[in-house]
């Protein structure tokens, strides 16, 4: 039997729709501001917090794009890798504040000498990478020598800073952008092994014993064997962030710490695989239902079974996206215990577990321990270190645990800059969720709107932003109680939510503008404090 709908009913619904559209027009300014600030935040997030150079992620994305272009055009492309000599000794003797200033000075000196359209990226720690489109390795070597000389002369006082430099170019037959970085890094290690403060250009005749001496595990598979598209990785990570921003941020932290732990144990190309594996170690969670993935309280035993299936789904996603067994193995084995407890028959045990998976296992557990949850407060780094030591030899590789703690990876000096970078991502995530909320509201898409508001509320809860949590929850309840899709009354709540998100973004952009001079203040999350102060004052 069909339902009878009167002309009056249709007219009422049409009036409600027109009234809602008029109300939404008033929100258009806020919507445009959100979109504009999202673009600005994306630009800011491409820069390294300390030095102002492009960060590692942006470096990879730009280099991959240039590599694809030169594959089509045949134009030359060169890469220069820099490493500040004896940087650890400088940090130990003079303190991390001096080390930070040296890195800023080195970055400035390099950037002043890089010819357009070349650009500088901070590869990690005291390593930098210059990309030179339309330039041969021979000319790039001259550029490298000029920069080496500038660093040696301009930074001679008071700390006698020098750098070792490696160069490679596309004419040497690299099959991917990872491979050209690998070649430049091999040349860099040869320069360091030859006495430092030197420039070496890669060649097929580069002495293999120099590389082998400087790079442990050089025999391991590398990304050069099966190139991994960073753009594809970024797309998968964005999909995860769309589903669960907190898990995406966790994955980024795990990647940062994994690379820091493995530096010196792997080649550049192997580090690249490790970084991608860490970024994607939880990618299977994109297939977990929101009711489980976004649940704010502890999971039930049945819900844990659903969540644990994400590891299998993650392996399937990675295997179908990339032809790289080392990468798939990191995702497949990062939950395996070192002592073999509960390992499936025939599965790897101890050192048979790939080293990348053993590293991700440690840093994944560490970050989970120190992170706050709705139902518990995170542990201190000291407490987390104690737990890692307690489980060394059973759950974790004891030698890697010792290295992790000895190098203070979990609270190393760079961590404050990583925190700033993660806050960049969080500000962007809030902006994207707000845009998604606005689009769903305009389309009156109840399902997408509910998901977006739930994620915004959870983000506010997890990051001490009570205003966003409260307004997102209030708007969700109001929409749930609405009759006949009459959402006009909810527009003021949406406007307040947009205003709050805009305030967080503006305050964050102001904070970023003060970097790197005021980077010491970054961990205090001043833009969040601004948002909390505004909210608490408004509630009084």
Helix, strand, or coil here: 266?
strand
Confidence bin at 519 (pLDDT 50/70/90): very low
Which H or E run contains 210? helix 208-214
Q: Count Cβ atoms below 10 Å from residue 190 Cβ, excluding itself.
A: 22
Q: CA-CA distance, 117 to 136, in Å (whole number)?
A: 14
Q: Count Cβ atoms below 10 Å from residue 484 Cβ, excluding itself.
A: 9
Q: CA-CA distance, 204 to 211, in Å (whole number)?
A: 12
Contact between 282 and 247 (Cβ < 8 Å): yes
Query: Which residues 6+ apart lie within 8 Å of 492 measured at CB?
Result: none
Contact between 130 and 80 (Cβ < 8 Å): yes
Alpha helices in 45-136 (DSSP H): 56-73, 87-94, 96-113
Domains and CATH numbers, the chain: 11-46+417-539 (no CATH), 56-214 (3.30.70.270), 230-412 (1.10.3210.10)
Between 11 and 435, the higher pLDDT residue: 435
Decide if pLDDT at 522 tops 80. no
pLDDT score recorded for residue 540: 37
pLDDT score recorded for residue 220: 56
Q: CA-CA distance, 46 to 56, in Å (whole number)?
A: 8
Q: Are strands 77-84 and 163-169 parallel, antiparallel or unpaired?
A: antiparallel
Give 314: exposed, middle or buried? Use CB within 10 Å, 0-12, 13-18, 19+: buried
For residue 329, what are its two tokens? Answer: 């193995």
pLDDT score recorded for residue 526: 40
Q: CA-CA distance, 458 to 248, in Å (whole number)?
A: 14
Between 241 and 209, the higher pLDDT residue: 241
Query: Which residues 6+ apart lie within 8 Å of 526 measured at CB?
Result: 507, 511
pTM above 0.85, yes or no: no
> At CA 37, angle to CA 34 and CA 41, rounded to 5?
135
Query: Which residues 6+ apart lie within 8 Å of 239 measured at CB?
Result: 286
pLDDT score recorded for residue 423: 66
Decide if pLDDT at 415 tops 90. no
Between 242 and 165, the higher pLDDT residue: 165
Q: CA-CA distance, 39 to 442, in Å (whole number)?
A: 21
């Amino acid at each position: 039997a069909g339902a009878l709908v009167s002309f009056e009913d249709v007219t009422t619904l049409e009036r409600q729709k027109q009234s809602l559209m008029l109300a939404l027009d008033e929100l258009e300014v806020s919507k445009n501001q959100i979109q504009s600030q999202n673009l600005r935040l994306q630009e800011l997030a491409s820069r390294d917090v300390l030095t102002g150079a492009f960060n590692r992620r942006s470096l990879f994305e730009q280099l991959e794009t240039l590599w694809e272009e030169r594959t089509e055009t045949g134009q030359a492309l060169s890469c220069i890798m820099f490493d500040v000599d004896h940087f650890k000794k400088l940090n130990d003797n003079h303190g991390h504040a001096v080390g930070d200033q040296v890195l800023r000075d080195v970055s400035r000196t390099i950037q002043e000498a890089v010819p357009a359209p070349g650009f500088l990226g901070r590869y990690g720690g005291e390593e930098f990478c210059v990309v030179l489109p339309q330039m041969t390795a021979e000319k790039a070597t001259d550029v490298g020598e000029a920069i080496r000389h500038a660093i040696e002369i301009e930074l001679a006082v008071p700390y006698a800073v020098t750098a070792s430099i490696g160069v490679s170019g596309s004419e040497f037959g690299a099959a991917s952008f990872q491979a050209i970085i690998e070649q430049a890094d091999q040349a860099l290690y040869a320069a360091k092994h030859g006495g430092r403060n030197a420039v070496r250009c890669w060649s097929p005749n580069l002495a293999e014993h120099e590389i082998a001496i400087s790079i442990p595990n050089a025999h391991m598979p590398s990304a050069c064997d099966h190139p991994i598209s960073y753009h594809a990785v970024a797309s998968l990570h964005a999909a995860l962030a769309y589903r669960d921003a907190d898990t995406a941020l966790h994955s980024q932290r795990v990647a940062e710490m994994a690379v820091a732990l493995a530096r010196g144990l792997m080649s550049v190309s192997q580090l690249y695989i490790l970084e991608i594996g860490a970024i994607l170690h939880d990618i299977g969670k994109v297939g977990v239902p929101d009711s489980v993935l976004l649940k704010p309280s502890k999971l039930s035993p049945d819900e844990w079974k659903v969540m644990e299936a994400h590891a299998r789904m993650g392996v399937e996603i990675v295997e179908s996206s990339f032809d790289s067994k080392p990468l798939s193995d990191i995702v497949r084995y990062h939950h395996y215990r070192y002592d073999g407890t509960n390992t499936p028959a025939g599965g790897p045990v101890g050192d048979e577990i790939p080293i990348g998976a053993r590293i991700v296992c440690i840093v994944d557990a560490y970050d989970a321990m120190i992170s706050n949850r709705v139902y518990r407060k995170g542990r201190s780094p000291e407490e987390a270190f104690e737990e890692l030591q307690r489980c060394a030899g059973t759950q974790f590789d004891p030698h890697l645990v010792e290295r992790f703690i000895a190098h203070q990876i979990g609270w190393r000096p760079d961590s404050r800059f990583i925190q700033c970078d993660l806050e960049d991502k969080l500000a962007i995530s809030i902006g994207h969720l707000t845009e998604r909320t606005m689009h769903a509201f305009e389309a009156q898409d109840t399902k997408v709107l509910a998901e977006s508001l739930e994620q915004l509320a959870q983000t506010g809860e997890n990051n001490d932003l009570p205003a966003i949590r409260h307004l997102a929850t209030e708007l969700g309840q109001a929409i749930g109680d609405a009759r006949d899709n009459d959402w006009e009354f909810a527009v003021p709540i949406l406007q307040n939510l947009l205003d709050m998100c805009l305030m967080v973004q503006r305050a964050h952009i102001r904070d970023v503008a003060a970097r790197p001079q005021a980077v010491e203040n970054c961990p205090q999350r001043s833009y969040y404090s601004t948002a909390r102060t505004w909210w608490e004052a408004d509630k009084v």
